[in-house]
Chain A
Amino acid sequence: MNLATVLIVVVWTGVTLYAVLGGADFGAGILHLLARGSTATAKRRAIATAMGPVWEANHVWLIFVVTASFSAFPRAFGALGTVAFLPATLAVVAIVVRGCAFAFAGQIEGRPDVTARTQRLFGAASVAAPFLFGTVAGGLALQRSHVGELGFWIGPFQLLVGALAVALCAALAAIFLAVEMTRAGEAQLAASFGRGGLWATTAAGVLALVALAVASGASPRLFHDLTGRALPEVLAAIVALSTAVGALWRRRYRPARAAIGLSAAAIVWGWGIAQYPVLVGPELTVDNAAASGPELTAIVIALGAGLLILAPSLWLLYVAFRRHPVGVSR
Chain B
Amino acid sequence: MTTPVAFIGHLTAGRAQMGTSLAFHLTFAVLGVGLPLMMLVAEGMHLRTGDPVWRALARRWARAFAILFAVGAVSGTIVSFELGLLFPRFMAFAGGVIGLPFSLEGFAFFIEAIFLGIYLYGWNRLSPRAHWLSGVPVVISAVASAFFIVTANAWMNVPRGFRVDHGRVTHVDPLAAMFNPAWATETAHMVVAAYLATAFGVAAVYAAGMLRGRRDAYHRRGLALSLAMAAILAPVQLGVGDLLGRTVASNQPAKLAALEGQYPTERGAGLSLGSIPIPGRARTVLNIKVPNLLSTLAKDDPHATIRGLSSFRKQDRTPMALPVRLSFLGMVGIGTYLIALSLWYWLRRKGRPRPEDRLTLLAVVSSGPLAFLANELGWLSTEFGRQPWLVYNVFRTKAGITTAPGLGATFTGFTLLYVALAAATIWLLRRLATGAPTTLAAERRMAAGA
Contacts and interface: CB of A to CB of B under 8 A. Distances in A.
A74 interface: yes
B118 A320 contact: yes
14 contacts: A53-B118, A56-B113, A70-B83, A73-B95, A77-B91, A81-B86, A85-B404, A93-B414, A95-B74, A103-B66, A103-B67, A302-B104, A316-B118, A320-B122
A283 to B, nearest CB: 13
B74 A57 contact: no
Contacts of A93: 413-414, 417
B170 A292 contact: yes
Given A59-B73, A313-B115, A89 B410 contact: yes
Contacts of B402: 81-82, 85
Contacts of B86: 81
B394 interface: no
B84 interface: yes
B95 A324 contact: no
Contact of B117 (A70, A79, A317): A317
Contacts of A317: 114-115, 117-118
Interface string B396-412: 00000011101000100
A80 interface: yes
Interface in B63-119: 63, 66-67, 69-71, 73-78, 80-86, 88-100, 102-107, 109-111, 113-118
Contact of B424 (A53, A72, A95, A104): A104
Contacts of A109: 431
A303 interface: yes
A227 interface: no
Contacts of B174: 294-295, 298-299
A108 interface: yes
Contacts of A82: 88, 402-404
A295 B97 contact: yes
A102 B121 CA distance: 15
A303 B103 contact: yes
B274 interface: no
Contacts of A73: 95
A68 interface: yes
B421 interface: yes
A306 B103 CA distance: 9
A295 B176 CA distance: 11
B340 interface: no
A70 B95 contact: yes
- Ranked nearest first, the 6 interchain pairs of A and B with the lowest CB-CB distance are A71-B99, A74-B95, A291-B96, A81-B84, A78-B92, A103-B70
Nearest to A314: B114
Interface of A: 52-54, 56-57, 59-60, 62-64, 66-68, 70-75, 77-82, 85-86, 88-89, 92-93, 95-97, 99-100, 102-104, 106-109, 149, 291-292, 294-296, 298-299, 302-303, 306, 309-310, 313-314, 316-317, 320-321, 324
A71 B95 contact: yes
Interface of B: 63, 66-67, 69-71, 73-78, 80-86, 88-100, 102-107, 109-111, 113-118, 120-122, 125-126, 137, 169-170, 172-175, 402-404, 406, 410, 413-414, 417, 421, 424-425, 428, 431-432
Contact of B77 (A57, A62, A77): A62
B81 A92 contact: yes
Given A106-B66, A310-B107, A71 B102 contact: yes
A88 B63 CA distance: 31
Given A88-B81, A89-B85, A77 B103 contact: no
Contacts of B90: 78
Contacts of B175: 298
A202 to B, nearest CB: 32
Contacts of A102: 70
B80 A80 contact: no
A86 B118 CA distance: 36
B77 A96 contact: yes
Given A71-B98, A74-B92, A82-B404, 7 more contacts: A63-B80, A70-B95, A77-B88, A89-B81, A107-B63, A291-B172, A314-B114
Contacts of A60: 73, 106, 109-110, 113
A309 B425 CA distance: 32
Contacts of B117: 52-54, 56-57, 317
B84 A80 contact: yes
B89 A295 contact: no
Contacts of B406: 85-86
Nearest to B94: A74
Contacts of B118: 53, 316-317, 320
Contacts of A92: 77-78, 81-82
A78 to B, nearest CB: 3
